[in-house]
């Protein structure tokens, strides 16, 4: 990943949009990935979120189903 | 922000439909679950079959039922709270019935109750509730606490159960067992709405 990649636009969802999205869908219709550290996750996370700390993302890509929409927080 | 970098990375890895949730958990106004990913999941093995899951979910529901019974008694003076927690007791009971029906619908057979009880009752039944919290500790905690604090504890317990059931529906291998967890998570959501509704009135 190059430095310029950080300037590309990334689609976003507001917390409210995400809340509505998650309420409407079944858990098997999306990926919900939490990229924070375990201690942060332990203190509080969105129900059903899969904890994949940023540093592990590359090695754990297989846990994210590419066929489904993915929400990252 | 980490999630933005992560979303960029995932898009770069070829994933479509990736969204960065703005503001992260601080902006999140919905339910929040606590605990590490493995919390509660230790009870369930990913290779467990439908029968084992029904048995275990059963034992945990029983714990929740005792918890709600205890709170209902504790607040016998407060009509509205008493009614609410008694409703949850009956909800857990019908949940147990529902588990049984789901099991029968999925497998075409009746679960062996005696076997299930023998397997789980000694170690678990009635001592631990959904969300992995010990019933005794929870009931000791509410002594001297008000209705809204007890509601908050109940909500925390239900959110953790909801979190656990969603994760289990993904982790479990057995397709039928997956459906049981999906159903369970849907029902937890209904309990949560009820609890939150009363809490809204009380705060």
Parse chain A into domains and list their residue ranges. 27-73
Give long-range contacts, CB 8 A cutoff, 24+ apart: B69-76.
B70/B135, B70/B139, B70/B142, B71/B139, B71/B142, B71/B150, B71/B154, B74/B139, B74/B142, B74/B143, B74/B150, B75/B147, B75/B150
Half-sphere exposure of residue A41: CA atoms within 13 angstroms, side-chain side? 21
| B23–A15 C-beta distance less than 8 A | yes
Nearest-10 crossing angle of helices B50-74, B79-107: 170
Among A57-66, B39-48, B192-201, top mean pLDDT goes to A57-66
Beta bridge partners of A13: B21
Contacts with B18 from chain A: Cβ below 8 Å: 10-11, 69-70, 72
Q: How far is B132 from chain A (nearest CA, A)?
A: 14
Search chain B and give the residue with CA nearest A38. B36
Structure token digits, residue A17: 């949009």
Q: Which residue from B5, B20, B34 is facing A42, i.e. has the nearest CB?
A: B34
User: CATH topology for A27-73?
Assistant: Oxidized Rhodanese; domain 1 (3.40.250)
In whole angstroms, what separates CA B42 from the centre of its chain?
14
Contact A37, A20 (CB under 8 A): no
A26/B contact by beta carbon, under 8 A: yes
Q: What pLDDT, on a 0 to 100 scale, did the predictor assign at position A35?
A: 94
User: Is residue A51 pLDDT above 90, yes or no?
Assistant: yes
Quick check: B18 and A70 CB within 8 A? Answer: yes
Q: Which residues of A touch B28 (CB under 8 A)?
A: 15, 18-19, 46, 73
Alpha-helical (H) ranges within chain B are 2-12, 24-27, 50-74, 79-107, 113-120, 135-142, 147-171, 175-202
Q: What is the mean pLDDT of chain A?
A: 88
Give the model's pLDDT for residue A49.
92
Identify the residue with better confidence: B203 or B2: B2
- Look at residue B123 in the predicted model and tell me its pLDDT: 53
Alpha carbons A37 and B179: distance in angstroms, whole number: 30
Both structure tokens of B33: 């679950």
Q: Specify which residues A70 forms β-bridges with.
A: A31, B18
Q: Which residues of B touch A (CB under 8 A)?
A: 2-25, 27-37, 159, 162-163, 166-167, 169-170, 178, 182, 185
Each domain of chain B, given as residue ranges in start order, spans: 1-30, 32-202
Who contacts B155 (Cβ-Cβ below 8 Å, separation ≥6)? B31, B192, B195, B196, B199
pLDDT band at B84 (very low <50, low <70, confident <90, very high): confident
Q: What is the pLDDT of residue B56?
A: 74
**Two tokens at B26?**
């601080």
* CA geometry: angle B158, B162, B164, nearest 5 deg: 115
Contact B36, A49 (CB under 8 A): no
φ, ψ for residue A69 (rounded to 5)? -65, 150
Mean pLDDT across B146-159:
86
Residue A28 has what pLDDT?
83
Number of helices and strands in chain A (H, E): 2, 4
Report the residue of chain B nearest A47, measured CA to CA.
B163
Determine the topology of domain B32-202 in CATH: Ferritin (1.20.1260)
């Amino acid at each position: 990943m190059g430095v310029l990649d950080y300037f590309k636009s990334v689609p976003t969802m507001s917390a409210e949009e995400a809340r509505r999205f998650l309420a409407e869908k079944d858990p098997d219709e999306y990926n919900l990935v939490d990229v924070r550290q375990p201690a942060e996750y332990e203190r509080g996370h969105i129900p059903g979120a899969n904890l994949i700390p940023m540093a592990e993302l590359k090695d754990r890509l297989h846990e994210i189903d590419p066929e489904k929409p993915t929400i990252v927080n | 922000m980490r999630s933005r970098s992560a979303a960029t990375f995932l898009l770069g890895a070829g994933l479509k439909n990736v969204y960065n949730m703005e503001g992260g958990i601080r902006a999140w106004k919905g339910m929040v679950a606590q605990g590490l990913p493995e919390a509660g999941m230790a009870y369930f093995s990913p290779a467990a079959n439908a029968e084992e899951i029904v048995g275990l979910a059963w034992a945990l529901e029983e714990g929740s039922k005792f918890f709600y019974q205890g709170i209902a008694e504790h607040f016998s003076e407060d009509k509205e709270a008493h009614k609410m927690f008694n409703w949850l007791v009956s909800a857990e009971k019908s949940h147990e019935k529902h588990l049984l029906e789901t099991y029968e619908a999925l497998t075409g057979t009746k679960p062996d109750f005696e076997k299930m009880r023998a397997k789980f009752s000694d170690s678990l039944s009635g001592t631990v509730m959904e969300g992995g919290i010990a019933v005794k500790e929870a009931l000791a905690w509410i002594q001297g606490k008000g209705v809204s604090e007890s509601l908050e504890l109940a909500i925390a317990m239900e959110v953790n159960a909801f979190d656990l059931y969603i994760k289990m529906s993904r982790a479990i291998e057995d397709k039928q067992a997956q459906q049981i967890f999906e159903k369970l998570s849907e029902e937890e959501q209904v309990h949560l709405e009820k609890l939150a509704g009363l809490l809204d009135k009380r705060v």
